Structure 1
Amino acid sequence: MNSWINLTALWKIVVVGLLAGAGLPALFAVGLRALSPARGAESGTTRGGQGPDGGGRAASAGSPGLALAVLCFAVVLAAIGWGIYSIVSHS
Protein backbone atom coordinates (compact mmCIF):
# COMPACT_ATOMS: atom_id res chain seq x y z
CA MET A 1 0.00 0.00 0.00
CA ASN A 2 1.01 3.50 -0.67
CA SER A 3 1.10 5.88 2.27
CA TRP A 4 -0.03 8.72 0.02
CA ILE A 5 -3.41 7.19 -0.81
CA ASN A 6 -5.97 6.46 1.86
CA LEU A 7 -8.21 3.86 0.19
CA THR A 8 -10.87 3.99 2.90
CA ALA A 9 -11.33 7.74 2.45
CA LEU A 10 -11.23 7.35 -1.31
CA TRP A 11 -14.05 4.78 -1.30
CA LYS A 12 -16.15 6.99 1.00
CA ILE A 13 -15.72 9.92 -1.37
CA VAL A 14 -16.62 7.82 -4.41
CA VAL A 15 -19.75 6.35 -2.80
CA VAL A 16 -21.04 9.70 -1.50
CA GLY A 17 -20.23 11.32 -4.84
CA LEU A 18 -22.20 8.70 -6.74
CA LEU A 19 -25.17 8.92 -4.39
CA ALA A 20 -25.28 12.71 -4.40
CA GLY A 21 -24.19 13.18 -8.00
CA ALA A 22 -26.40 10.59 -9.66
CA GLY A 23 -28.78 9.37 -6.96
CA LEU A 24 -30.42 12.66 -6.02
CA PRO A 25 -31.13 13.77 -9.60
CA ALA A 26 -32.49 10.29 -10.34
CA LEU A 27 -34.72 10.48 -7.26
CA PHE A 28 -35.93 13.91 -8.37
CA ALA A 29 -36.74 12.46 -11.81
CA VAL A 30 -38.72 9.64 -10.17
CA GLY A 31 -40.70 12.27 -8.26
CA LEU A 32 -41.45 14.18 -11.45
CA ARG A 33 -42.50 10.97 -13.20
CA ALA A 34 -44.81 10.11 -10.31
CA LEU A 35 -46.52 13.50 -10.74
CA SER A 36 -47.12 13.05 -14.46
CA PRO A 37 -50.49 11.66 -15.56
CA ALA A 38 -50.94 8.05 -16.56
CA ARG A 39 -49.98 7.17 -20.12
CA GLY A 40 -53.54 6.26 -21.07
CA ALA A 41 -54.82 9.65 -19.91
CA GLU A 42 -52.41 11.48 -22.20
CA SER A 43 -53.72 9.82 -25.34
CA GLY A 44 -57.36 10.42 -24.38
CA THR A 45 -57.58 13.94 -25.77
CA THR A 46 -60.41 14.72 -28.14
CA ARG A 47 -60.36 16.55 -31.43
CA GLY A 48 -60.93 19.96 -29.87
CA GLY A 49 -57.91 19.59 -27.58
CA GLN A 50 -60.07 18.85 -24.57
CA GLY A 51 -58.72 16.37 -22.06
CA PRO A 52 -60.66 13.31 -20.88
CA ASP A 53 -61.99 15.26 -17.89
CA GLY A 54 -63.66 17.82 -20.17
CA GLY A 55 -61.17 20.57 -19.34
CA GLY A 56 -58.08 21.62 -21.20
CA ARG A 57 -55.83 19.30 -19.20
CA ALA A 58 -55.36 15.56 -18.98
CA ALA A 59 -56.22 13.79 -15.74
CA SER A 60 -53.69 14.35 -12.97
CA ALA A 61 -51.69 11.75 -11.09
CA GLY A 62 -53.50 9.77 -8.41
CA SER A 63 -52.79 9.95 -4.70
CA PRO A 64 -50.22 7.09 -4.70
CA GLY A 65 -48.24 9.00 -7.32
CA LEU A 66 -48.57 12.20 -5.34
CA ALA A 67 -47.42 10.48 -2.14
CA LEU A 68 -44.39 9.01 -3.92
CA ALA A 69 -43.55 12.40 -5.44
CA VAL A 70 -43.78 14.14 -2.06
CA LEU A 71 -41.55 11.48 -0.50
CA CYS A 72 -38.95 11.80 -3.27
CA PHE A 73 -38.93 15.59 -3.09
CA ALA A 74 -38.68 15.49 0.72
CA VAL A 75 -35.62 13.22 0.55
CA VAL A 76 -33.98 15.51 -2.02
CA LEU A 77 -34.71 18.60 0.09
CA ALA A 78 -33.42 16.87 3.22
CA ALA A 79 -30.17 15.98 1.43
CA ILE A 80 -29.77 19.57 0.26
CA GLY A 81 -30.43 20.86 3.77
CA TRP A 82 -27.96 18.38 5.26
CA GLY A 83 -25.32 19.43 2.74
CA ILE A 84 -25.79 23.11 3.52
CA TYR A 85 -25.72 22.38 7.26
CA SER A 86 -22.48 20.38 6.94
CA ILE A 87 -20.80 23.14 4.97
CA VAL A 88 -21.89 25.90 7.35
CA SER A 89 -21.14 23.99 10.55
CA HIS A 90 -17.57 23.14 9.48
CA SER A 91 -16.55 26.63 8.47
Structure 2
Amino acid sequence: MTSWIDLDALWKIVVIGLLCGAGLPAVFTLGLRTLSRSERRAAAVTPVPDAVGLTGGTSTRVQAARAGAEMVVAGLCFAVVLAAIGWGVAFIVSHG
Protein backbone atom coordinates (compact mmCIF):
# COMPACT_ATOMS: atom_id res chain seq x y z
CA MET A 1 0.00 0.00 0.00
CA THR A 2 1.33 3.41 -0.91
CA SER A 3 0.73 6.72 0.78
CA TRP A 4 -1.07 7.96 -2.33
CA ILE A 5 -3.47 5.11 -3.03
CA ASP A 6 -5.47 3.14 -0.48
CA LEU A 7 -5.94 -0.15 -2.36
CA ASP A 8 -8.33 -1.58 0.25
CA ALA A 9 -10.74 1.31 -0.23
CA LEU A 10 -10.23 1.27 -4.01
CA TRP A 11 -11.34 -2.32 -4.51
CA LYS A 12 -14.40 -1.75 -2.30
CA ILE A 13 -15.39 1.26 -4.40
CA VAL A 14 -14.91 -0.67 -7.64
CA VAL A 15 -16.99 -3.65 -6.45
CA ILE A 16 -19.87 -1.50 -5.15
CA GLY A 17 -19.73 0.60 -8.32
CA LEU A 18 -19.99 -2.47 -10.51
CA LEU A 19 -22.83 -3.95 -8.48
CA CYS A 20 -24.89 -0.78 -8.38
CA GLY A 21 -23.77 0.73 -11.67
CA ALA A 22 -24.08 -2.34 -13.86
CA GLY A 23 -25.74 -4.98 -11.68
CA LEU A 24 -29.03 -3.26 -10.92
CA PRO A 25 -29.67 -2.16 -14.52
CA ALA A 26 -28.86 -5.72 -15.63
CA VAL A 27 -31.39 -7.16 -13.15
CA PHE A 28 -33.99 -4.62 -14.30
CA THR A 29 -33.31 -5.54 -17.94
CA LEU A 30 -33.65 -9.23 -17.11
CA GLY A 31 -37.01 -8.48 -15.49
CA LEU A 32 -38.23 -6.55 -18.55
CA ARG A 33 -37.07 -9.27 -20.92
CA THR A 34 -38.71 -12.00 -18.85
CA LEU A 35 -41.93 -9.99 -18.60
CA SER A 36 -41.95 -9.50 -22.36
CA ARG A 37 -41.46 -13.23 -22.98
CA SER A 38 -44.22 -13.98 -20.49
CA GLU A 39 -46.68 -11.68 -22.23
CA ARG A 40 -45.85 -13.16 -25.65
CA ARG A 41 -46.24 -16.67 -24.25
CA ALA A 42 -49.56 -15.77 -22.57
CA ALA A 43 -50.86 -14.35 -25.86
CA ALA A 44 -49.90 -17.59 -27.62
CA VAL A 45 -51.77 -19.72 -25.09
CA THR A 46 -55.23 -18.87 -26.47
CA PRO A 47 -56.87 -22.23 -27.24
CA VAL A 48 -57.23 -23.05 -30.92
CA PRO A 49 -59.34 -26.03 -32.05
CA ASP A 50 -57.23 -28.79 -33.52
CA ALA A 51 -58.20 -31.17 -36.32
CA VAL A 52 -60.34 -33.28 -33.99
CA GLY A 53 -62.15 -30.25 -32.58
CA LEU A 54 -60.50 -30.34 -29.18
CA THR A 55 -59.07 -27.19 -27.67
CA GLY A 56 -56.11 -26.74 -25.37
CA GLY A 57 -53.89 -29.73 -24.94
CA THR A 58 -51.01 -30.39 -22.63
CA SER A 59 -48.77 -27.94 -24.46
CA THR A 60 -51.24 -25.14 -23.73
CA ARG A 61 -51.12 -25.88 -20.01
CA VAL A 62 -47.34 -26.11 -20.04
CA GLN A 63 -47.09 -22.77 -21.86
CA ALA A 64 -49.50 -21.19 -19.36
CA ALA A 65 -47.40 -22.53 -16.46
CA ARG A 66 -44.22 -21.18 -18.06
CA ALA A 67 -45.86 -17.79 -18.56
CA GLY A 68 -46.83 -17.76 -14.87
CA ALA A 69 -43.32 -18.74 -13.79
CA GLU A 70 -41.84 -16.02 -15.99
CA MET A 71 -44.15 -13.47 -14.38
CA VAL A 72 -42.88 -14.54 -10.95
CA VAL A 73 -39.24 -14.22 -12.05
CA ALA A 74 -39.92 -10.76 -13.50
CA GLY A 75 -41.62 -9.72 -10.25
CA LEU A 76 -38.64 -10.92 -8.23
CA CYS A 77 -36.24 -8.94 -10.45
CA PHE A 78 -38.28 -5.78 -9.99
CA ALA A 79 -38.52 -6.42 -6.23
CA VAL A 80 -34.73 -6.68 -6.00
CA VAL A 81 -34.32 -3.37 -7.83
CA LEU A 82 -36.95 -1.64 -5.66
CA ALA A 83 -35.34 -3.03 -2.49
CA ALA A 84 -31.94 -1.70 -3.58
CA ILE A 85 -33.44 1.72 -4.29
CA GLY A 86 -35.20 1.74 -0.92
CA TRP A 87 -32.00 0.68 0.86
CA GLY A 88 -30.06 3.42 -0.90
CA VAL A 89 -32.56 6.10 0.03
CA ALA A 90 -32.68 4.88 3.64
CA PHE A 91 -28.87 4.85 3.79
CA ILE A 92 -28.63 8.40 2.48
CA VAL A 93 -31.33 9.69 4.84
CA SER A 94 -29.85 8.03 7.90
CA HIS A 95 -26.34 9.30 7.23
CA GLY A 96 -27.31 12.79 6.08
TM-score norm. by structure 1 comes to 0.72
Structure 1 consecutive aligned stretches of length 4 or more whose deviation exceeds 3 Å: 51-54
Runs of 5+ consecutive residues of structure 2 not aligned to the other structure: 48-63
Q: Percent identity?
A: 59
The amino acid of 1:35's aligned partner reads L
SS in structure 1 opposite 2:37? coil
Q: Distance in 2 between matches of 1:90 and 1:75?
A: 22
**Residue aligning to 1:45:** none
CA distance in 2, matches of 1:4, 1:87: 28
Query: Are 1:16 and 2:21 an aligned pair?
Result: no
Instruction: Give secondary structure in 2 for the equivalent of 1:37.
Output: helix
Q: Work out the CA distance in 1 between the residues paired with 2:69 and 2:22.
A: 25
Q: Who wins on radius of gyration, i.e. which is larger?
A: 2
Q: Which residue of 1 aligns with 2:81?
A: 76
Q: Deviations over 1:49-81 (max 9, x none)?
A: xx7549xxxxx9711100100100000000001
Instruction: Give the structure-2-normalised TM-score.
Output: 0.69
- Cross-structure match for 1:7: 7
2-structure distance, mates of 1:5, 1:33: 41
More helix by share: 2
Distance in 2 of aligned mates of 1:21 and 1:37: 25
The one-letter code of the counterpart of 1:19 is L
For CA contacts below 8 A with separation 6 or more, give which structure has more relative contact order: 2
- Uncovered stretches (5+) of structure 1, i.e. residues with no partner: 42-50, 55-59
C-alpha RMSD over aligned residues: 2.4
